[in-house]
Structure 1
């Protein structure tokens, strides 16, 4: 790749991958053996799983078929009929035990996530925190959320109305490779605790993380048949799940999300999807410059930039543009890059050859069309097959593909703006609306944040603040998704609301002896009085 920066004269700190931790190696052998004999996944054609740190095969699982999915749904439906009658208190206890097991097995889970994805250790730890947080949150909330609730009716004395939440049945889950722990189970937690079964397809590149974390859930007391994991190709297993489930939870690309949406839509089945993003970040002139430079690094390069909510474009007010750019680029150039299971690495590998090719293609296209590389911009095969330096671009022309398309890698472009109004205008100039960020004084940030068309906006943080605000539902606007995860919505979406209303004493149409016109006149007067005195039904 050709570029005009001075990074060829700089070197990132190189860190190399040592041998596998002993417990991780033992767990991988056990999970691989279970996959081979079919006790955890379908017996089928072999799918090799690669470790991105080295590019070597770390194990294999079966390639599920449509028949495997059919059988999985049959088993899950049988289990669900019993599970929905298990008291909520018992379900809660299982997930609180699971919470403790996740924290107890923290290092093993982190190791497995790193092995399958190539991410750095801090990014893998984020997944452990998220799973434990979700399990505890929904375990503590489920009794209140599912408790039958009295609701008002048009004639409170004559009617008694109760709202119930019934489980939907079997939820289908299709999860991606970039967060195999978080997205492999955190969406399943509220579905299960609400009384549903789950048939899940983990990504073929990262199946062992899912196998491991569900193993911990089984050990915590979840009935084994209640969750069915079927590994395999999305076009086979994913399609078969979408054609059979009672609700579909999907995380992945907007293109695939639209296809799955059509599939479940034809069946009038509920659907929740977190899709792509081209997430903007605005830096105001009144921000704390040093704090912002550090925060933007985290926002752009956590998980090697391979997350839907990562920041890919930054708009900086003119008054501080040069100072911010210098501080930011210095921090990027100082990042540690490498493989291994130590905590000192700031950014790990990309996940695969396909990801590397995608990132290289986007950067090469931008540079060929006139963009300038201020940091990074290079493949680093000396560190491992799929390493790519964290990259900063400026002067990105309008016809460069990465101006509007999601890179899903460690690449960000910086742009100068004359004021915050222009920054908001540019932030909204996209078909996506998943995540955004504002670094500014709180008063400034709270003024402009609601004007940004994104499902979540973090202030003085890239994305973790809004993600960790677990009581607040989170989802995408525009082509970035439908429905929400987190909050009450994150559980109730897996239920069917049921209205059960008892009519008492007499018909809501009035006494039989009362003339229809007289009854209509009385009810009309009552409705007018209700409005005048602000009486709710």
Structure 2
């Protein structure tokens, strides 16, 4: 269901109260087990009422136009920005992220809301289009779909859903937002800032609950649903949306690959690899899972990796590099993958099985891991980095392309002009140069992408007949003289 294959495992240990569905969803601090709040597990009745009020508000919201929506969205942005300290604390408490990481996420989310609000009319407003036929001129505008559902992830509970929420609202839609069952407080805080700003216009509303709530949302007659999360969750959600006929936009998670060429700045590449693998305990949907390193720089690169990864420490204090694993089941996934890698002949450069000290996992760096190991083929869910030695860049491309699904790729090299030729050999839609994290390549999570707001709109075309055309359809009143002129023009243009 919306959080799908992970839905049951994402509920913290202390929140599991038995086989029956709880009426209340409890939010916990994963670092301490402290109860942070309780939220309703909303069912079909609550969702029906929420969607009904969202549809009424959407009519007002669409009618005020781009300028009106821009003013409201910028006011909302300022409200969120003024509450940054409280929001950062809430994110840190519900996810275990260090406050600095939470502050960066909030900053990026506010900037994204500002950007969408200021550029929505340019991206979606009516504009003159090229002539559709020789006898037709016209214009195209993007109009709102109506009411959009947004299912947010727990790893970036503000930034990832904000891109969909802001894009949908800027396009004239109302939004029903379901945050992850692990971060309901963050979702409620975001919706509350809007309701305080516009208490009589529920353009944005939050619904809380577990996977059953998300499944019910697919049956609530929404005009579209946007989802960010695991590939398994996306598949299950696609089935549910297909049954209800609800359009679905998906941003699948998954860390990518890095290629370190012989001329790369090794210290920069090593720092990027460690950050891409370890940030947020490796639980983010973007970053680095596997690094392919040119043979001649492999050994010095490993030294840099060992030094940088070895200095990181997880924990709950301000000096910790990252926090705990939030989903209990994923700790077991990391343990099984590391054990499989070592059993199949891999070596631990940093850490190992003894690095797993629930709920924390210290940095783990593996080398010589066979491509058949589940540590390579499985989903990257923890602070684990795998490094491969490659003889040539052709070998690197071949091994990257062998992945079951296309991976985003980061290429580190000083010869930037060579990247397009190398990228052409990769089965991927996104290549970044000398930077990480490697962001996801599909769906609504790509910030400042002018195509994202279009996902939440429909195109409307208006065409006009050109007044000087000699021949037209749509009437039986044909003029012989005009037909003769049209035939003469046809012969000249096509050399008949």
Common topology (TM > 0.5): yes
Query: 2:380 and 2:480 mapped to 1: Cα distance?
Result: 66
1:84 to partner: Cα distance: 0.8
Q: Secondary structure at the match of 1:250?
A: strand
Query: 1:527 and 1:404 mapped to 2: Cα distance?
Result: 61
| Cα distance change on mapping 1:391 and 1:528 into 2, 3 Å | farther
Select which of 476, 498, 518 maps to 2:460. Answer: 498
Mapped contact 2:177–2:187 kept (Cα < 8 A): no
Select which of 449, 452, 468 maps to 1:487. Answer: 449
1:290 to partner: Cα distance: 1.3
Query: 2:446 and 2:472 mapped to 1: Cα distance?
Result: 37
Mapped contact 2:294–2:389 kept (Cα < 8 A): yes
Query: 2:490 and 2:240 mapped to 1: Cα distance?
Result: 47
Ranges in structure 1 where 5+ consecutive residues have no aligned partner: 1-43, 468-473, 533-537
1:439 pairs with 2:397? no
1:288 to partner: Cα distance: 0.9
Q: Which residue of 1 aligns with 2:181?
A: 204
Select which of 425, 428, 432 maps to 1:451. Answer: 425
Q: After the TM superposition, which of the residue ranges 67-76 and 495-504 deviates more from structure 2?
A: 495-504
Query: 1:254 and 1:222 mapped to 2: Cα distance?
Result: 37
1:150 pairs with 2:128? yes
Mapped contact 1:277–1:432 kept (Cα < 8 A): no
Query: 1:400 and 1:516 mapped to 2: Cα distance?
Result: 76
1:237 to partner: Cα distance: 1.6
Q: Which residue of 2 aligns with 1:4?
A: none
Mapped contact 1:271–1:483 kept (Cα < 8 A): no
Residues 289-368 of structure 1: pairs in structure 2 closer than 5 A: 289-340=266-317, 342=318, 344-368=319-343
1:304 to partner: Cα distance: 1.2
Mapped contact 2:115–2:448 kept (Cα < 8 A): no
Mapped contact 1:303–1:348 kept (Cα < 8 A): yes
Q: Encode CA deviations 1:321-362: one digit per residue, 9 max, x unaligned.
A: 01101111111001132113x3x3322211132222222222
Q: Which residue of 2 aligns with 1:475?
A: 441
Query: 1:330 and 1:177 mapped to 2: Cα distance?
Result: 30
CA RMSD of aligned residues (A): 2.8
Q: Encode CA deviations 1:280-319: one digit per residue, 9 max, x unaligned.
A: 1111110111111111111111111111222111100000
Query: 1:301 and 1:103 mapped to 2: Cα distance?
Result: 28
Q: Which residue of 1 aligns with 2:5?
A: none
Query: 1:224 and 1:428 mapped to 2: Cα distance?
Result: 49
Query: 2:385 and 2:154 mapped to 1: Cα distance?
Result: 21
1:390 pairs with 2:354? no
Query: 1:456 and 1:155 mapped to 2: Cα distance?
Result: 35
Mapped contact 2:227–2:251 kept (Cα < 8 A): yes
Q: After the TM superposition, which of the residue ranges 451-460 and 47-56 deviates more from structure 2?
A: 451-460
Q: Secondary structure at the match of 2:431?
A: strand
Q: Which residue of 1 aligns with 2:58?
A: 80
Q: Secondary structure at the match of 1:493?
A: helix
| Cα distance change on mapping 1:297 and 1:398 into 2, 3 Å | closer
Q: Encode CA deviations 1:182-229: one digit per residue, 9 max, x unaligned.
A: 123331011011110111211111111111122223344485522221
1:463 pairs with 2:441? no
